[in-house]
Structure 1
């Protein structure tokens, strides 16, 4: 499986830090091989808003492996282009295992694939649900700054919310990066 990272409009070192945190547990210790292929969209100005730019990146990197599964992780303004690109990738024959929107407040999320929202506070989590979310989502508690979700997902504590059993049933307290690993394992197995 390939993980497609679609950053927002911010300093590139924040994305480097985010990807480093993902890579920490991304190895099979018995073989020392990476479990997933992490591809980071290079951003230049507002290119993260462009579904065309993201789709071109995917065809450049995965064109001959279009049927291999991908998972999108997008952040902030990057959610805008990424959700459209994920749908276009699927329409063109690609296998989208899941889409994760980190702090994509105000962005409608629709797709024929599992969608998950991660929010930096409860208000963002609550107010984003009307624009589309999946059954398994995450929100930070205590609230954190917007960029902390991307810069330091390993330090952000919060709640995994399983909407299939109701909002009042909070499943588990964990960190943002643990929530991501949980999703990786779920979609890697399926």
Structure 2
């Protein structure tokens, strides 16, 4: 079974609890197995600590889907490359406000941004597949605190043309989780 790995940023753990509540994952028929990297014990940006956490808490034979936020994006992208080098499978990687972090891998990558500028400028460093940005823009932490209240645009391609569909950050994330069947 695939697990959902949450790599928060540098903030109070209550914000991550609020983020997960906003996704309403426990209301689904098959709630995912969720592992939250303990940023209260280790630096959010530490790929070595994230990889060690994965090795200690998740079987290498079971795939992972990673949702990371802010400084957690820095550590998480390098950790998943390490996870793959060890033989692990990464189903997808979702970066929320990973501004300035180059993203690349042989797995689906999605960016979620708190405003258009972050969306546009981050895309220069690898945008992956379907993405989302808030419109109107919201504060950085608001994206993590209450994704269900953040309205914006789902950016996707159809017939080689960029399409924009209105949605919320939580709905976009739920769509991705359903796609990858966590």
TM-score (norm 1): 0.89
Structure 2 residue aligned with 1:159: 153
2:90, 2:135 → 1: CA distance? 29
Structure with more relative contact order (C-alpha pairs < 8 Å, separation 6 or more)? 2
2:105, 2:63 → 1: CA distance? 16
Equivalent residues in 2 for 1:6-155 (5 A)? 6-28=7-29, 34-44=30-40, 47-62=43-58, 65-155=59-149
Contact 2:70 2:96 in 1 (8 A): yes
Go from structure 1 to structure 2 and tell me whether the alpha carbon gap of 1:23 and 1:113 turns closer, same or farther (over 3 Å shift): same
- Aligned counterpart for 1:183 among listed residues 168, 176, 179: 176
1:173 aligns with 2:166: yes
Please, which runs of 5 or more residues in structure 2 have no aligned partner? Answer: none
Please, which runs of 5 or more residues in structure 1 have no aligned partner? Answer: 29-33
TM-score (norm 2): 0.93
1:132, 1:93 → 2: CA distance? 24
